[in-house]
Chain A
């Protein structure tokens, strides 16, 4: 399992275009918001938590089809499926690799992008924490969507249509965690539910995604 994780990480780092791309995309989304809405810092600081969350979510979406597509095309996914490692484990490791190469960098970058949007004081830590708790769910749900659409020729758009509705609870509680602290309210409930959704996703997705992969590899 560790070997698979290292292989996937190495592939993402060395292939080029995969690793930095989502970060760049995130930056561009954040940059476009003032263009669209205007540069008044009072407006920006109100919408900053939501923009950071939506930006991170969309950036995460970009690289989802890479989770299984390339391995499916060159046949290594079939090899992995016949290996002694259960397919659920393969899914979990691939989703984890996706999180380490996409979700984690986005989480680390988000507080810095928060400066650009005049995020209120005190919300920086919670932006970081909420994304840290929420992005694993994004990666795992994305792995589920990728597993369903892996055999399709034009799966990219469909993948977004399938995955984005599944992101709704994570987005709501993630953005609420930050918004509430920015407004000076107590955000413990939102954060705990966010963490619960994340853990729940981590628990069920490997099984459902492995089920979808088995159907696609049949």
Chain B
């Protein structure tokens, strides 16, 4: 019994069919707890007032935006090396979620930035890096939709994802060189000295767990939909041949 057995679409469908309800319920619980706790049961910050509470959406979505790209990279590599279709489809399913998370992070950041920095947008390295990530997502999604043959599309998007990752990372450090920033450093760290205060930290962790689970739910749902649509097109092709 190994992980790779779930690369078989039928097994994957059977497993996710069983797991999905639990994941969905957990997502709802975590998100509700984290956000309610964060919004209503934490004190206002002494300097930022209640605007600080947007952190419970901003930080998790920003984290997910980056991690979803990493997940796509891993899935692409698995597809290139082991040719498991589920992997390619999962990467495809994750991309629109990633782009949405990037947008959420950018928009909540803008809403937060206006009262704090006095501007919705600044050409700060972190903000710019997110804009760049957004463009990389767009290119990836556009390439998927532009190619008709599914296997070719999976191959080419995987290659693009690999090269794109290298250059996205390069851009992320290039913008540090290019402009000085307003954005604070890491909000999260294992080291208690560095991260935000515990009153915010704990609900933040719950929200992050909620966002991770939300991503898991959505990506499983979307992958299942992709598998089904692939099966339907195979069936249609079969009917035509008859």
Contact = CB atoms under 8 A, between A and B. Distances in A.
Interface in A143-165: 144, 148-149, 151-152, 154-155, 158, 161-162, 164-165
A77 interface: no
Given A161-B139, A197-B170, A216-B156, A173 B177 contact: yes
B142 interface: yes
Interface of B, helix, strand, loop or mixed by DSSP: helix
Interface stretch (B53-61, B89-97, B157-165, B203-211): B157-165
A172 B178 contact: yes
A166 B167 contact: yes
Nearest to B176: A172
B152 interface: yes
Interface residues of A, number: 30
A161 B136 CA distance: 9
Contacts of B135: 161, 164-165
Contact of B178 (A144, A162, A176, A205): A176
Contacts of B143: 148, 158, 162
Contact of B174 (A148, A152, A162, A172): A172
A162 B210 CA distance: 32
A56 B79 CA distance: 37
A190 B177 contact: yes
B152 A215 contact: yes
B175 A172 contact: yes
B146 A158 contact: yes
Nearest to A205: B163
Given A172-B174, A204-B166, A158 B142 contact: yes
B169 to A, nearest CB: 9
A166 to B, nearest CB: 5
Given A148-B159, A212-B156, A166 B177 contact: no
Given A158-B143, A208-B159, 8 more contacts: A158-B142, A164-B135, A166-B164, A168-B174, A169-B170, A172-B177, A204-B163, A208-B163
Instruction: Report, nearest first, the 10 A-B pairs whose CB atoms are least far apart.
Output: A169-B174, A215-B155, A168-B171, A169-B170, A172-B174, A165-B135, A162-B139, A166-B167, A172-B178, A161-B139
